[in-house]
Amino acid sequence: MCLTCCRGSPVPLGASIEKGGVNFAVFSRDAKAVRLELFRSAEDKEPYAVLNFDPEINRTGDVWHVFVKGLKAGDLYLFRADGEYAPEKGLRFDGEAHLLDPYAKALTQGSVFNAFRAVGDTAKELERIKAGGKVSNKCDLSVFPKCIVVDDDFDWENDVPLNIPLHDTIIYELHVRGFTMSATSKTKKRGTFCGLAEKIPYLKKLGITAVELLPVFEFDENELDRTDPATGKRLKNFWGYSTICFFAPKQSYSAGKNSKVVTEFKQMVKDFHSAGIEVILDVVFNHTAEGNHMGHTFSFRGLANNIYYILQNDDRRFYNDYTGCGNTMNCNHPVTVRFIIDCLRYWVLQMHVDGFRFDLASVFCRSESGSLEEFPILTRAISEDPVLRNTKIIAEAWDAAGAYHVGKFPGGRWCSWNDKFRDGMRRFFRGENFMVTEMATRLAGSSDLYMSSSPEYSINFITVHDGFTLNDLVSYLAKHNEANAENNRDGSDCNYSYNNGIEGESDNPVIEKQRLISIKNMLLFLIISQGVPLLLAGDEFRRTQKGNNNAYCQDNDVSWVDWSLCEKNADLLRFVRKLIELRKAHCVFRRSAFFKGGDLQSGVLPDIIWYNAEGQEPDWPKMKHFLACRLDGDSMQSFNGLKDNNFYLAVNMHNRDCIAVLPPLPAEKSWRRVVDTSAYSPNDICDPGDEEILPSQKRYVVPAGSAVLLQSVDILQNRRSLANYPEGKNGI
């Protein structure tokens, strides 16, 4: 086929629809030749047209570009780049390799790794590669995904990112496919962006304000070679932390085909925004799926290996691996910085997402030599970018090589996952001695970590995708990852879990009650602690992974949400909904500044007062299992002009009941019970305006292993009495 071409433009990078055709632009500094291949269908084994870039005409600086007349949205393409193959210099050009455009906005359904397996990857070839031989990049093009020219036009109907304040944010982490793939989800388009949108009414009723989606950038689920030892079925990359294309939403998550995935994603975001829910993406810029020196070339490596990746200084054949995944992106090289900023801007401007959670973000702090930088270019560029100024940016502030920046992530305005909150809460609520001080610090906003910013920069979590579910945290002492085919070596051995007497599922009512109370304890503290709470999907109704704490390769019932548990554990689901309502109703749980001390001479109370069981100031080094505090709602007037209620929170992890002395209130106020995790539903949490009157305002029995939350209310307000139901024994 004869196509009409002209010089084209070096900006923007990628494939851009313009009047009369499509402009293609790709960065490659050291390539000697670049060509564009065009395809009619995703299954084509050969291109129908090959366009060679003339370096005298179709190159500006390091960018190769061409304008092709007559092309349009939906057309398919790949690049090839030829040049010097000199691994010792960091150059790995291969004219045989078909390359995905790093800026491609959609890919056809296919599999990079299956395409290579179809023509090679025998054991003999792997041994040759290990011995220093060149990796073969020949592939079956009928299987290899193609880049799609995408038209960004979409009727957003004035939709914009919601910009919900951090202190009002409640995040819900979920996997797009796993959330609705089970038949129990009763969605029409299971496992897709459309299927997720069908669950918006559920999420809105739950009360969360943002969904955080596990990776939706295009990845290849067929990356793994292992099989489940029990079933023989091939394992898949389910989580998706192995990106092959950063601008493209995951094709297999679409109910349609090809470029429809972009429209479907946009419609999902638009629907979430209509419901008042933000969309945050879990993004992986720390490495790519091309792997180490034994990996295949299909994108960055074939264009600018020595620029996009951090290579070892002493031997540039090899990659510095700070991610545990074979390679590390050279994030502070100006070209890579530009690429990442372009990508983030695209997802904000064209896809309307509200924020990003950056996987292993401490990699962003590594220089081109791999050392840690005090003032990294990338972290500052993201935080100061004018387009991203209102976008939520959240760091997983560590990497696989020991870097750790929780609470001090460089660049300004970065939130970070607070793993100290996770570990402290887990250890306290499983009954470890002398964890009271740690628990108090986390409850109050982790000032030891975030004092230079604000408590709202702490993303608090107890469970996330990486680890046990909340149900499994109280049901298993050890991980059970045998199905991952790694001899149970994968996944963390440090879980701070407790099985309450029996490993795994149990029908013992005593054990089940203990587990339920423990779950409610942790959920209570997660939701009312200072900072931003992050809830793992399904924890609100006891989703289980059968003890697997690293289900990254389990695209099956292990990872799929079982929605029948909504009915089975409806009481717990109600408890979580009411907790979220409570947090939203009371700003004392949503402070944007740390607690302040009082002034005893002027009679001004501290914002928070800590107590032991006797109602006295704690002797912190001796505190083992009990702690209480009083939150001063009056102090909130200085933040938003409105006073809040006072609250008394007590937790007793002793193995016996504890009589807690309550702090006194003014004569016109009385303590009413809002939450008691030891009580049966619906008395474990009260509806607003229906809090129970305590028979005594002086003492309260906090049952062993439970927590209680009391609220100060005007004494003249009519409330039902605590003595009206069996749990009334708590007031003395």
Q: Give the catalytic positions in this structure.
A: 359, 396
Handedness of CA 147, 153, 157, 163 (dihedral sign): positive
**Interatomic CA distance for residues 490 and 493, integer angstroms:** 9
State the pairing for strand pair 210-213/14-18. unpaired
Q: Distances from the Cα of 636 to the Cαs of 98, 547, 585, 595, in angstroms? A: 60, 42, 13, 10
For the chain, the distance separating the N- and C-terminal CA atoms, rounded to the nearest angstrom, is 90
281 forms bridges with which residues in the sheet?
A: 213, 356
Best CA proximity match to 428, nearest among 418, 438, 419: 438
Handedness of CA 495, 500, 503, 507 (dihedral sign): negative
**Interatomic CA distance for residues 552 and 467, integer angstroms:** 10
Cβ–Cβ < 8 Å for 547, 480: yes
CA 475 to chain centre: 24
Maximum alpha-carbon separation in the chain: 91
Spell out the residues 6+ positions from residue 140 whose beta carbon is closer than 8 angstroms to its own.
45, 114, 115, 118, 119
Cβ–Cβ < 8 Å for 196, 180: yes
State the pairing for strand pair 626-631/647-652. antiparallel
Best CA proximity match to 251, nearest among 239, 264, 238: 264
**113: three-class secondary structure by DSSP:** helix
Q: Distances from the Cα of 50 to the Cαs of 1, 77, 196, 309, in angstroms? A: 9, 10, 40, 29
Q: Distances from the Cα of 220 to the Cαs of 113, 215, 289, in angstroms? A: 7, 11, 8
| Residues of the chain by 3-state class (helix, strand, coil), percent to 5 | 25, 20, 55
State the pairing for strand pair 692-693/147-148. unpaired
Beta strand extents in 214-326 (DSSP E only): 217-219, 243-249, 278-283
Handedness of CA 491, 492, 497, 500 (dihedral sign): positive
